[in-house]
Structure formats: C-alpha cells, structure tokens
Amino acid sequence: MILELEEVKDKISNYHCILFSIFYHDIIYKATSKDNEEKSAELAKTRLEKLNIPSEKITRIYNQILATKSHKKSKDSDTNFLLDADLAILGQDWEMYENYTQQIRKEYSIYPDFMYKPGRKKVLTHFLEFDEIFKTDYFKEKYEVNARLNIQRELSKK
C-alpha cells in the first residue's frame, strides 16, 4: 500500500496519518470476525493516545481505518487514497491477482467450499456494483478496467 501511495504522496494532505492508518487497518484480523476494522481502529486509538498524537489526527486515523470496512467513497480525499491503495491488488496483472485469490482462500481455509464460494462471490459482486471501484482519478486510470476484468474472470470460475 505504501508503494502504491508513493506516486501520489504530493496529493495527500496528511501522509503521516495515512501511514498510521495503513499500519493499523488490519492489525487485528480474524477471518471469522465481522468487527476487525472496529477493533483495529480502537487499538490504533489507544496506542496513538499513548504517543501523544493530537486527538484530531487520531480521529482521522480512526475514521480512515473504519472506512476500509465498506470501501465507500469519502468526502476526505486522503481516505479515498487509502481505500484505493487497499484495493490496488484488484487491478494488478492476472498472475498477481490469482496469487492474491489463492492467499485469500488459504486465509479462509476454515470454511469449506460450499460456504466460501458464495461469500467470495458476494464480496466480488459488491465491488462490481460500485459505479467506480476506485475513488481517485489516479487509481481509476491505473486500475479500474483491469480490476473489473480480474473480478469478472474470477467470478466466471466460481
């Protein structure tokens, strides 16, 4: 994610907040849990308070982490860059994307195919239902077309 954002660093108003958000956004992750983002945001808040980070920055980081749950467009452009970097894998070449899908399957290996496949299909369909998967012009131009092709290709194999 950091490498993806390096190219647009000058368009991000608070790069340090984005770095904290990247670090903490998946710090708590359990495949069976539905509140990973909330727990990650809470942990970030607690730790950043101990570092005496200003409260307005902590709130910003907290909200950015929560935004990674739904990936809906934000009024805050920094949050949109974070969300796009988080989804950049979707627009990579097929080989890299397919490797990513295999890693996701391993992550959810506790679920048998009859449970995993409908859940994965739901997630992928959710992204295709967005008018635009990517929120910023930079990431739209770079990845939108390929992301949709990758997702459709994966869905055709389900």
Tens of pLDDT along the chain (158 residues) come to 999 999 999 999 999 999 999 999 999 999 889 999 999 999 999 999 999 999 999 999 999 999 999 999 999 999 999 999 999 999 999 999 999 999 999 999 999 999 999 999 999 999 999 999 999 999 999 999 999 999 999 999 86
Closest CA to 61 of 72, 76, 70: 76
What local confidence, expressed as pLDDT, does residue 94 receive? 98
> Distance between CA atoms of 10 and 91, rounded to whole angstroms?
22
Closest CA to 76 of 56, 90, 101, 49: 56
What local confidence, expressed as pLDDT, does residue 31 receive? 84
| Model pTM score | 0.93
